[in-house]
Structure 1
Amino acid sequence: MASTVLSFRTEEETVTRLDQLAAATERDRQYHLKRALNRYLESEAWHLQAIAEGIVDAEAGNLSDLASVKANWVKRVENNAD
């Protein structure tokens, strides 16, 4: 797969921490940046998908009233307190 150069500015402290991680793992900056970016993109894509699914549910009328949502959370708290 072809690579594209991507550059951005960040704080010096972030670069220092990245360099420490790279040294500790014997990997280069690029390895960690690509890995972090891919994880971030996967997480954001999941979030956007969940929102889209929620909108479809809402438009279909699959909604819960606030009182039942609160009751379920209270029940969870009570069950976890034991």
Structure 2
Amino acid sequence: MSKDNVTFRLDSEKRAALDAIAAGLDRNLTYILNEAISLYLEIHQWQLEEIRQGIAEAEAEEFASNDEVEAMFEKLTHAN
């Protein structure tokens, strides 16, 4: 896997927090930033895929019936 350098500005407080995390985990800042970016990408890629699936279902007119919605509402509002 190739690696690229990226330069960006970061608030001093965020940098200090990242440095503290790195020290607490006995890792370097590069490791912490790569982990943070990986988690960010995972979350947002999941969210985008869910949106795409929702749009595809809507375009295919795959909606829950009123009875299904009401049953789910009952289940969720009357759960123990």
**Superposition TM-score, scaled by structure 1 size:** 0.83
Offset of residue 75 of structure 1: 2.8
Aligned to 2:20: 20
- Does residue 39 (structure 1) correspond to residue 36 (structure 2)? The answer is no
Amino acid at match of 1:59: E
Q: For each residue in 1:19-68, what CA deviation from the matched residue of structure 2 results, as whole angstroms up to 9, or x when unmatched?
A: 11111111001001001101111111111111111111101111136785
Instruction: Note the C-alpha offset of 1:16.
Output: 0.5
What SS does structure 2 have at the residue aligned with 1:4? coil
Distance 2:75 2:46 in 1: 28
Q: How many residues align?
A: 80
The equivalent of 1:55 in structure 2 is: 55
Report the CA distance shift for 1:71/1:16 in structure 2 as closer, same or farther (over 3 A): same
- Give the letter aligned to residue 57 of structure 2: D
Task: Tell which deviates more after alignment, 46-55 or 66-75.
Answer: 66-75
2:22 pairs with 1:7: no
Partner amino acid, structure 2, of 1:75? K
Q: Structure 1 vs Structure 2: percent identity of aligned residues?
A: 32
Q: CA RMSD in A?
A: 1.9
What displacement does 1:71 show? 5.5
In structure 2, stretches of 5+ residues that fail to align are: none
